[in-house]
């Protein structure tokens, strides 16, 4: 069984809002932005076909075609499996609307991989994730699609997002390549996976944890942990957001935060704080503040 690539970076740059940033839509402008991030040592970019209904991947690919040398420097994660009502090509219901649903069929996954490669203008996807667990998933068929794409050199590794342990284990059991990564919601604002066995299971199964919404959509900065976060950040001379991400990285498996900001100064600030090592007592102080009670 083969394993996937590691994530030797402090951040993954999430592209979920790229289609909402007109200033970066011109290929040369986005190419400048990408080259700056690459020169700063950040080369992993997180996509999904659902982001902007393919627009995020298409914009990214246009920038790489405008500056072909960048294509060999970027590392790309992308995801598939969510079909929005607008993209539902099946017969519409009586009310004339499509149905949001999941599709992890072999044909859909295989076509999604090829389409992502075309939109992004790259030869290989470093990681390809099934975006949501599909209750109708035929693990043998889905696993075969992923194995075949890895064998063909289209994928460096495959993984999952938002799966529960038995869901990813059922898929893993049907594959000869190892699932390499799991992207899950995890932050000071959403620490439940640390206490319900979910996080222990993914680390135990050797999946690289990728944390989406690592600042809780801003709730980490405005919620009950705010006073402790501000005081500790001042004492440690780091940004509160950088401290919140350090809290995540202290966990086993060293989760990599997937940040959503496209602002260069914001990214630089978070990267500058990425070397912080958090003392155990400070880690628990933040947890206590976020949950509102001491550990047992």
Residues noted as catalytic: 51
4 within 8 A of 178, measured Cβ to Cβ? yes
Instruction: Tell me if 154 is assigned to some domain.
Output: yes
Q: What is the mean pLDDT of residues 74-102?
A: 84
Please, which pLDDT band fits residue 93 given cuts at 50, 70 and 90? low
Instruction: Tell me if 150 is assigned to some domain.
Output: yes
pLDDT at 267 over 80: yes
Instruction: Tell me if 238 is assigned to some domain.
Output: no
Instruction: Tell me if 277 is assigned to some domain.
Output: no
Instruction: Tell me if 111 is assigned to some domain.
Output: yes
Please, which pLDDT band fits residue 94 given cuts at 50, 70 and 90? low
Q: What is the mean pLDDT of residues 16-26?
A: 98
CATH number for the domain that contains residue 70? 3.20.20.100
- The pLDDT tens digits for 41-57 are 999 999 999 999 999 99
Q: What is the pLDDT of residue 131?
A: 98
In whole angstroms, give the CA distance from residue 168 to residue 172: 6
Q: What is the pLDDT of residue 91?
A: 60
CB atoms within 10 A of CB 72: 9
Instruction: Tell me if 170 is assigned to some domain.
Output: yes
**pTM, rounded to two decimals:** 0.94
Instruction: Tell me if 271 is assigned to some domain.
Output: no
pLDDT at 59 over 70: yes
User: CB within 8 A of 107, min separation 6: which ones?
Assistant: none
- The pLDDT tens digits for 148-171 are 999 999 999 999 999 999 999 999
Task: Give the residue numbers spanning the domain of 147.
Answer: 12-185
Query: What whole-number percentage of the chain has pLDDT above 90?
Result: 92
DSSP per-residue string spanning 251-279: STT-PEEEE----HHHHHHHHHTTT----
Evaluated on CA atoms 30, 36, 40, 43, the torsion sign reads positive
pLDDT at 1 over 60: no
Total domains present in the chain: 1
Q: What is the pLDDT of residue 43?
A: 96
- The pLDDT tens digits for 191-249 are 999 999 999 999 999 999 999 999 999 999 999 999 999 999 999 999 999 999 999 99
Q: What is the pLDDT of residue 4?
A: 42
Q: What is the pLDDT of residue 8?
A: 77
Q: What is the pLDDT of residue 2?
A: 40
Q: What is the pLDDT of residue 92?
A: 60
For residues 140-166, one letter each, b for 16 or more C-beta atoms within 10 angstroms of the residue's C-beta and e for the rest, the string is: ebbbbbbbbbbeeebbbbbbbbbbbbe
Instruction: Tell me if 222 is assigned to some domain.
Output: no
- The pLDDT tens digits for 126-135 are 999 999 999 9
Please, which pLDDT band fits residue 88 given cuts at 50, 70 and 90? confident
């Amino acid at each position: 069984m083969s394993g996937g690539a590691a994530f030797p970076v402090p951040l993954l740059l999430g592209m979920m809002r790229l289609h909402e940033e007109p200033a970066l839509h011109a290929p040369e402008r986005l190419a400048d932005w990408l080259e700056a991030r690459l020169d700063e040592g950040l080369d992993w970019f997180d996509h999904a076909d659902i982001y902007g209904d393919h627009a995020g991947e298409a914009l990214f690919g246009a920038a790489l075609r405008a500056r072909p040398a960048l294509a060999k420097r970027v590392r790309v994660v992308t995801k598939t499996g969510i079909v929005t009502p607008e993209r539902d090509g099946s017969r519409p219901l009586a009310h004339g609307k499509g149905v949001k649903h999941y599709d992890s069929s072999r044909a859909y996954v295989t076509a999604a991989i090829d389409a992502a490669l075309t939109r992004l203008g790259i030869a290989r996807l470093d990681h390809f994730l099934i975006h949501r667990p599909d209750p109708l998933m035929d693990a043998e068929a889905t696993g075969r699609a992923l194995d075949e794409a890895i064998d063909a050199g289209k994928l460096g590794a495959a993984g999952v997002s938002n799966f529960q342990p038995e869901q990813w284990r059922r898929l893993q059991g049907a594959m000869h390549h190892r699932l390499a990564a799991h992207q899950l919601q995890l932050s000071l604002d959403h620490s439940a996976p640390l206490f319900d066995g979910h996080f222990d299971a993914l680390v135990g199964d050797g999946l690289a944890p990728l944390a989406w919404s690592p600042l809780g959509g801003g709730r980490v900065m405005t919620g009950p942990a705010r006073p402790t976060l501000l005081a500790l950040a001042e004492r440690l001379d780091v940004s509160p957001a950088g401290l919140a991400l350090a809290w995540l990285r202290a966990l086993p498996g060293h989760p990599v935060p997937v940040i959503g900001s496209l602002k260069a100064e914001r990214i630089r600030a978070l990267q500058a704080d990425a070397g912080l090592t958090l003392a155990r007592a400070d880690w628990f102080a933040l947890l206590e503040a976020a949950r509102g009670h001491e550990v047992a």
